[in-house]
């Protein structure tokens, strides 16, 4: 895993090409279609893939056979290539072809250039968990444990911190002091408790920290 560095990628307008329209291709397409332009190439497609296509969330291209020659046609504008056919040999050929064309590869049956972690999302908070593909079950277990800790209040705190930062920039010039106030808000148990009643109440309590420094 030392070769891998966790990163957050902006995939807007980037193309993700998936070869294979079965359950694995479906899972990958469902993951990426909310973040990137997704095209799935296959002889057949699952019901969900057809539904996502009908909603305009991805593009399906039906081909008689996925050969190296056929695959090369679709790699030109790809940012990420995902070989997800039920043929390991073909997946390997597609990976090598993509690598020769300088594309990132996410393999489903081996380690590629990109490992997709198990993800937890709470508003603006995104947490990725990975074992480098060595134990998907452990990744899932860790995710389920952390999900119980990262409650919806964390998403509200992220929103509150963003709004307070803008207020602080206008009212307090000292950057160190701004950081201190934001940290004090995070550590204020009253603010966290107030989220359970309303965001507005939590914001009002948090704002008191700014008033103390004016």
Question: Which pair of structure tokens corresponds to residue 204?
Answer: 């009002």
Strands across the sheet with 78-83, in order? 59-62, 37-42, 15-19, 78-83, 104-105
Burial 190-204 (b: 16+ CB within 10 A, else e): ebbebbeeeeeebbe
Q: What is the pLDDT of residues 76-131, one digit of tens each?
A: 889 999 999 989 898 999 999 999 999 999 987 777 888 888 889 999 999 999 88
Residue 136 has, within 13 A of its CA and on its CB side, a CA count of 6
pTM over 0.75: yes
Residue 214: pLDDT over 60:
no
Average pLDDT, the chain: 91
Residue 212, pLDDT above cutoff 80: no
CA distance 57 to 79: 17
Distance separating alpha carbons of residues 210 and 199, to the nearest angstrom = 17
Q: What percent of the chain shows pLDDT beyond 90?
A: 72
CATH architecture of 117-150: 2-Layer Sandwich (3.30)
Segment 159-170, tens digit of pLDDT = 999 999 999 999
pLDDT beyond 90 at 136 = no
Write out pLDDT tens, residues 187-204.
999 999 999 999 999 999
DSSP labels for 162-187?
HHHHHHHHHH---HHHHHHHHHHHHT
3-state secondary structure of 113: coil
The CATH number, out of the four listed (3.40.50.720, 3.50.50.60, 3.30.300.30, 3.20.190.10), of the domain defined by the range 1-116: 3.40.50.720
């Amino acid at each position: 895993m030392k070769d891998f560095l966790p990163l957050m990628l902006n995939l807007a307008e980037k193309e993700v090409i998936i070869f294979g329209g079965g359950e694995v291709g479906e899972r990958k397409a469902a993951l990426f279609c909310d973040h990137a332009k997704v095209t799935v190439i296959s002889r057949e497609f699952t019901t969900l893939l057809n539904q996502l296509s009908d909603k305009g969330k991805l593009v399906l291209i039906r081909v008689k056979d996925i050969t190296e020659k056929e695959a090369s046609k679709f790699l030109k504008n790809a940012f990420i290539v995902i070989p997800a056919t039920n043929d390991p040999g073909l997946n390997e050929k597609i990976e090598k072809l993509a690598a020769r064309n300088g594309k990132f590869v996410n393999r489903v049956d081996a380690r590629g250039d990109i490992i997709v972690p198990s993800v937890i999302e709470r508003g603006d908070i995104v947490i990725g968990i990975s074992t480098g593909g060595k134990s998907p079950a452990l990744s899932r277990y860790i995710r389920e444990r952390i999900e119980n800790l990262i409650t919806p209040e964390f998403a509200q705190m992220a929103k509150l911190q963003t709004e307070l930062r803008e207020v602080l920039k206008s009212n307090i010039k000292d950057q160190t002091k701004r950081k201190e106030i934001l940290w004090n808000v995070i550590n204020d148990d009253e603010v966290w408790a107030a989220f359970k009643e309303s965001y507005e109440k939590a914001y009002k309590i948090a704002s008191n920290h700014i008033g103390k420094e004016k």
